[in-house]
Amino acid sequence: MMPPEGWYADPGAPGQMRWWDGATWTAHVAPAPVLGHPGAEAWGIASAPSTSPARAARPGRTPLVFGLLGGGAVLVILLVVGLIAFDHSRSPAGSSGSSAPSPSIDPGQNVVAQRAAAAGVPLLGFQGAVTHTHTLLHVRVDGVAQVIPAGIGIHVASKTLAAVHTHASTGVVHVESPVPDAHYRLRQFLVLWGVGSTEQTLCQHFVGGPCQVHVAVVAPTSQDALTFTGFGPMPNQPPTVARGLDTDLDQGAVIELDLTSTSKQ
């Protein structure tokens, strides 16, 4: 029996999750939360899906035996709980014997939600498939390529993601929306990333001072086409035109964002 669709530990890449569509692995990946982090098991991070049949019960175990074993387990649990309660009752005066409650929403979830609101990009509890496009983005600072992190716009523990996000650190930007013909722009992705929303804030983030910002939509190189494998068509001619930070994130577009510090000019 096939396991249900969902996020599971990637069997080919430790520390990474991959989306299982109920029948096969997909190209969608996301960084794995640390084991024990809230929501880690809900995303299937504890194990990869298996299509092997369930093991048959070992012979010789009658329902009575299981009942006795189960009763013994319950007795052990009750004894442990009683000992813990007794130990807490002996706490010194003025001490509650318990740790401070953890917050209901962790800071990372707030960051993702705030950035999505600022970018005007909806947060979803699932990956939309009505509009599903991919764009390849290159960011260079004084000619040096920058890594675009995996997991931008995604909060694993709460199982939420923005309609614009990244699954891997390849530069492939995903637009996955339940709304037909949804369009988003480069500026919105940069806000989700947290690097700025204007040329001035981008320069401050990447260069630490004044710089020149140039956006171009270019024809793909052979390496671009290789990186884009599995993400749909990538036309030889750019499918859109550059409009600065308001350049559209269109399917198969290769966008170059270059920042050059004033001192390098």
pLDDT tens digits along 71-126: 454 444 444 444 444 444 443 333 333 333 333 445 677 899 999 999 999 998 87
219, 237 Cβ separation under 8 angstroms: yes
Q: Kindly state whether residues 117 and 22 are assigned to the same domain.
A: no
Q: Is 57 a domain residue?
A: no
* Same domain as 138, residue 38: no
Q: Is residue 92 one of the residues assigned to a domain? A: no
Residue 19 to residue 132: CA distance in whole angstroms? 15
Confidence of residue 256 (pLDDT cuts 50, 70, 90): very high
Measured distance CA(46)–CA(35) in Å, rounded? 7
How far apart are alpha carbons 253 and 99 in whole angstroms?
A: 51
Q: Which residues pair with 64 in a beta bridge?
A: none
β-sheet bridge partners, residue 9: 17
Asked whether residue 33 carries a pLDDT value surpassing 70, the answer given is no
Q: What is the chain's percent helix, strand, coil content, to nearest 5?
A: 25, 25, 50
In a domain, 49, yes or no: no
139-190 pLDDT per residue, tens: 999 999 999 999 999 998 888 899 999 999 999 999 998 888 899 999 999 9
Considering the domain architecture, whether residues 142 and 13 belong to the same structural domain is answered as: no
Cα 1 off chain centre by: 28
Q: Two tokens at 70?
A: 């189960």
Question: Does the residue 195 lie in any domain?
Answer: yes
Is residue 1, in this structure, part of any structural domain at all? no
190: domain range? 107-264
Q: Say if 20 falls within a structural domain.
A: yes
